[in-house]
Amino acid sequence: MEFDKDLSARQEARVLAKKAADAQKVLAGMSQGQIDAIVEAVAKAFSKEAEALAEMAVKETGFGNVRDKTVKNRFASEKVAAKVRGMKTVGVLKENDVDKLWEIAVPVGVIAAIVPSTNPTSTVCYKAIIALKAGNAVVFSPHPNAIGCTVRAAEIVAAAAESAGAPKGSVSCMTIPSLDGCQELMKAPEVKLILATGGPGMVKAAYSSGKPAIGVGAGNGPAYIHHTADVAQAIRHIVESKTFDNGTVCASEQSIIVEKSLEDAVVKEGCRQGLYFMSKAEAKCLAALLFRPNGTLSPKVVGKAAPALAEMAGFKVPTETKILVARENEAGPSVPYSMEKLCPVLAFYVMNSEAEVLSKCVEILSHEGSGHTFSMHAEDKAVIRRFAEKIPVSRFLVNTPSALGGIGDTTNLFPALTLGCGAVGGSSSADNISPMHLIDIRKVAWGSNGTRAQVNDELIELVAAKILEKLR
């Protein structure tokens, strides 16, 4: 009998969703201490396998590098676990005797978690920790190009969770790569919420499923270097960010923008730190490789190092080159360098004034990346405030590597690999997604003003007293 992949994937999705629902009923009855023990076990086990999983991911997808993927795996396990340690997510969260209100945490239930190929292992640990911490079961749907490493990551998490007392089925992963299977999972009646991290099509499908969903849009953040910035430090931050895992973090910078007065200083320092400013001919050759005819980013360039990208485009750069830079003036669907580029490639905009910089940043983000991330290097707080009030993003980062600051590694944002873009970006949240986004809060409220009749009687007595006082 011929194997029907789509039919088998749909059946697998239904089975996993049902098992997850049974497991979640058990999780929902656990104490905070029991839940916390499960989370700690997951983080510890995953951290031990961080490098091995990174090697699997790079080998299978061809994206990024082992060193930085190892860092991401440890970030998703150690840093996320440290942040949620002590966070109350079970039972009564607050008792307000003054306002006569209680708040009780209620798990949302089974979560369908979509995993991208750019972060195929770290996303598993991060989403598992925030889901389990909130008392939810989670079923992962891997990207077809990262099925092996994602399944392995989920196996490690599931085994660790079960060893600490989680019921079997609390963490599971689809093993048959199929769009039909993913859609079946999202629409399964047992699934109560979808955590979608992936391409625009997948995020749109999550929001069209008829289920509550938390999806994220594309990043396309400009990095503004203001004339009050320490230029050497700003470039150092940009290089650290844009080369991290070869540019696969969506919060990484996609362009550098400066005023004309700072152009020479930025170019000189950029060249010193490994930026290669391409000629018009070189930029044209690379642009032809970046995007497919349908306008989507070519997987051939994702997560490749700068020298390899140049070679693919038919020109050579020094072996120490870290980022390829193309001069640009415009933004829009026909301007490749104004788009999100998940590789060490940047656009370089030079404007005549601060006002023009602000206008161009808004234009770039309005074209793509609304609600996501913007970075600014400056010491003038008045300018920072002025831009922060106008730039349409959820994460406005100051004097930090954008990729690492956006995910909460070099800032005090919640450490996350799912970054909400808010309503302006078509997302249901503007936050870095945490366990608190994966619980419902039940309000217990006591009557505080008596019955309506009592209130009316009190009002009548008050009015009568005032009338008698005037008559005296």
Higher pLDDT, 200 or 222: 222
Which pLDDT does position 1 carry in this prediction?
Answer: 39
Mark whether 250 is an active-site residue.
yes
Lookup result for tokens 């998940």: 342
Structure tokens at 208: 């069209």
Q: Is the pLDDT of residue 471 over 70?
A: no
Q: Is the pLDDT of residue 102 over 90?
A: yes
Which pLDDT does position 4 carry in this prediction?
Answer: 84
Catalytic residue among 173, 250, 343, 421: 250
Is the Cβ–Cβ distance between 428 and 407 less than 8 Å? no
**Across residues 436-451, what is the average pLDDT?**
88
Structure tokens at 113: 């978690």
- Which pLDDT band holds residue 433 (cuts at 50, 70, 90)? very high
Q: What is the pLDDT of residues 40-60, one digit of tens each?
A: 999 999 999 999 999 999 999
Q: Is 455 exposed, middle or buried (0-12, 13-18, 19+ CB in 10 A)?
A: exposed
Alpha carbon separation from 191 to 22, 107, 129, 210 (Å, rounded): 12, 12, 18, 11
| Domains of the chain (ranges, CATH numbers) | 5-215+434-444 (3.40.605.10), 221-404 (3.40.309.10)
Q: pTM (2 decimals)? A: 0.92
Which of 253-257, 397-401, 448-452 comes out lowest in average pLDDT? Answer: 448-452
Rounded to an integer, what distance in angstroms lies between the CA atom of residue 352 and that of residue 201? 37
Rounded to an integer, what distance in angstroms lies between the CA atom of residue 142 and that of residue 122? 12
